[in-house]
A and B are shown apart, each in its own frame.
Chain A
Amino acid sequence: MTAIKAGTAIEHAPGPARYAALRLRGAVLSPVTGSIVAALLLGAIILAGTGADPFTAYRAVFTGAFGSEGIGDTLGESIPIVGLALALAIPLRAGLVNLGGDGQLVLGGLAAVSVGLYSPFPSAITVVLALLAGMLAGGLWAALAAVLETRCGVPLLVSSLLLSYPAMSFVSYMVRFPLLQKGSGIPQTDRLPEGVKLPEFAAGSGAGTGVSVGIVLIGLAALVYFVVDHRTAAGYEVRMTGLGARFAGYAGVDRARLTLRLMFASGSLAGLVGAIAVLGFPYRLVDGSLTTPGHTWTGLLAALLAAASPLGTVAAGFFFGALTIGGFGMEQETAVPQQLTSVLQAVVIIFLAVRGGVFRKGGWLRRLGRGADPGPPATASPPDPETTAPAPARGDGGK
């Protein structure tokens, strides 16, 4: 998790050796590490409770995720998770929560598969058009959620989620009726024409690994996010809004416009993930195949874990992807259901949120601001009036 601190401390680099030591110390002592360790300990207790040996189980998670057989699956699983984590991290950086990733994802997939099936252009152009159509569909749907917040006062949290359900129903309808492949019992569209697909790496060693040029596209998206976040005025405005929306408002940030743009970027990235998924194996849209694995929610947790920092989000998304795949290895080895890993992912975030000072009320990305400030240690957080007020009653907390 060292990558999380990457961008924030560069300006104050105090000499390479000391800098590396500081980074290491910061990473080891960070609440993120603490939360992960605490969640793994809790997981060990649960494992022991079900009668499994925690060490065997965790070893199985590790070899399942990073062994010679698992690493390909881990990469394949990580592409959508990292993509969606980045998508949800973009508004999160400004303190906005986009819960509608599922809807944006499936609309992107639907747009891409429609273009792929009906485009009259040569396949190379069709692929590009399909990717763009997916981005546009997801982006516009997410932008609608932003409009609902800024114009109608519906909290973004609620508007984005509520828009997600009809989008999923609509895509399910399109796949099951107008676009349904005739003659097959499975609710799926026709296969995309030959050649309309993203080129795959190592196609000889077995199809279906899911590692395609998609990984490059997601990497590119991460790079763009990193550069915009660290090096542009727009990225600075976003971070400033995340640290203190009111202050950013004083400084002239137009919050409504910012929300709209961030949500469009977020939705288009989620749509891109849907398009990538459709343009890879099995080269069609199967009803429910995009949302059933729950990549959106894993991605959201990853973005929260990394406090939406660009490199940290990639690392956290990969970590959660590996944990998910490792969970299947653990299930084979110890017969403990793989759902345990999704429990652990949620528990990490609960520990992280509960470790006050990380996600404090009003400016919950304050930790980032402190990271850039070389002065006081991270633990000395100023008391929050809302949390100190009830403190005397702490004694009856357990009732």
Chain B
Amino acid sequence: MSFDAELIFSALRALTPILFAALGGALCERAGVFNVSLEGTMLIGCFAAVTGSWFGGSVWIGVISAVLAAMVFSLLLAIGAVTLGADAVVLCIALNLLAVGLTGFLLRTVFGKQGTFGDPDLQGLRPVDIPGLESVPFVGRALSGHSPLVYLSWVAVVVIAVLLSRHPWGVRLRGVGEAPEAAQSLGVSVARYRYAAILTSGALCGLAGAQLALGNVTLFSENMTAGRGWIAVVAVMLGRALPVGVLLAGILFGLVEAIGFRLQGEGMPQQAADAAPYVMTLVALFLATRSRGRRGGAPPGRLTGRIPRPRRIARTTTESPS
């Protein structure tokens, strides 16, 4: 197997859905919402993207409907977890399963298909050649010719990174996550910022779904996200909920997926390629916690240990004396 431009190309393509979803997860994490419904929200995005593109006749209608549908879906999490105070984990588990059931149900009622819907007439995202860049020898083949959403995801990393570190909105969002009582007492609406974080993460998951269903392939199949939303959750953990960290973690998974796919073409069993990203994820988590020292990881209900919660001091003193 050679390490060439095509490999980078396919790694970047595999990275995109994970990156979008992980950026959404990072926003929620920074706002203090434990969001593990990325998987289901992305699946809703996949289905809405295919439905919109099929009935709207344009891929952009597909992308927009994916974003809107995923935002509506994540609104359920926002209402439940922020307004009604439900347990976010339980709610997210139910939402993930709701997404699987709902898309399976709609696949049969809307398209009359079971399992998979694909059609030669279904509009997919077209590759964009970047003028100037495409003629550069190695870099051009790796970076040019992706779907527009791939480039959008890179822009999103920069925008979210700047927003979180520089803009007042981002600073307030972090404040809401780190010390909700303090933020509330300073007149920052905790609920409003958490709603914004969850809905933005919904929109990003919708883009992830659109890229998956209209960019990487051009079809919808039941449960097609296949754990990518969970890999995104891990990317949030490994990237410590920092946009650039999330990007680096995502590149790692994209590379593993691309290498696995390549080796599969060279005779490695498909099952090994399927398992590779998850094994890599576990190894990465293991190494990350090792190098960080045995600090016991994140407090319960949080993905990263970087944001202290108000009652953190009390919690650490009661941790089991192992």
A interface residue numbers (CB < 8 A to B): 50, 97, 99, 148-155, 157-159, 161-163, 165-166, 169-170, 172-173, 176-177, 245-246, 249-250, 253-257, 294, 297, 300-301, 304, 336-337, 339-340, 342-343, 345-347, 349-350, 353-356, 359-361, 364, 384-387, 389-394, 396-397, 399
- Cβ of B286: which chain A residues have Cβ within 8 Å of it? 148, 152, 154
- Cβ of B88: which chain A residues have Cβ within 8 Å of it? 361
On whether the beta carbons of A176 and B181 are closer than 8 Å, the reply is: no
- Cβ of B78: which chain A residues have Cβ within 8 Å of it? 397
On whether the beta carbons of B237 and A360 are closer than 8 Å, the reply is: no
Cα separation A319 to B199 with both chains bound (whole Å):
34
On whether the beta carbons of A173 and B272 are closer than 8 Å, the reply is: yes
- Cβ of B248: which chain A residues have Cβ within 8 Å of it? none
B288-318 contacts to A (CB < 8 Å): 289-290, 294-298, 300-301, 303, 305, 314-315, 318
A249 with B319, Cβ < 8 A, contacts A345-B97, A399-B195 known: yes
For A340, give the chain B residue with the smallest CB separation: B105
**What is the 8 Å Cβ interface bit string for chain B, positions 200-243, against chain A (1 contact, 0 not)?**
00000000000000000000000000010010011001000000
Given contacts A162-B230, A356-B86, 9 further A-B contacts (CB under 8 A): A148-B282, A148-B286, A155-B298, A336-B109, A342-B100, A346-B97, A353-B94, A360-B87, A390-B184
A389 with B271, Cβ < 8 A, contacts A153-B296, A345-B101 known: no
On whether the beta carbons of A384 and B289 are closer than 8 Å, the reply is: no
Cα separation A217 to B83 with both chains bound (whole Å):
44
B320: Cβ under 8 A from any A Cβ? yes
- Cβ of A392: which chain B residues have Cβ within 8 Å of it? 189
For A350, give the chain B residue with the smallest CB separation: B94
- Cβ of A301: which chain B residues have Cβ within 8 Å of it? 94, 97
For A177, give the chain B residue with the smallest CB separation: B269
Cα separation A391 to B181 with both chains bound (whole Å):
12
On whether the beta carbons of B190 and A393 are closer than 8 Å, the reply is: yes
The 3 A-B pairs with the shortest beta carbon distances in the complex, nearest first, are: A153-B297, A387-B85, A390-B191
B163: Cβ under 8 A from any A Cβ? no
B254: Cβ under 8 A from any A Cβ? no
Sampled A-B contacts (30; CB under 8 Å): A152-B289, A153-B295, A154-B237, A155-B298, A158-B233, A161-B227, A162-B278, A172-B271, A173-B271, A245-B300, A250-B318, A253-B320, A254-B322, A257-B322, A337-B105, A337-B109, A339-B105, A340-B105, A345-B101, A347-B94, A347-B98, A350-B94, A355-B86, A359-B87, A361-B301, A390-B83, A390-B180, A390-B194, A392-B189, A394-B83
Report the minimum CB–CB distance from B5 to chain A (whole Å).
Answer: 29
- Cβ of B233: which chain A residues have Cβ within 8 Å of it? 158
For A97, give the chain B residue with the smallest CB separation: B89
Cα separation A387 to B190 with both chains bound (whole Å):
10
B93: Cβ under 8 A from any A Cβ? yes
B90: Cβ under 8 A from any A Cβ? yes
- Cβ of B100: which chain A residues have Cβ within 8 Å of it? 294, 297, 342
- Cβ of B320: which chain A residues have Cβ within 8 Å of it? 249, 253-256
Contact partner of B95 among A159, A350, A384, A394, CB < 8 A?
A: A350
Cα separation A147 to B117 with both chains bound (whole Å):
41
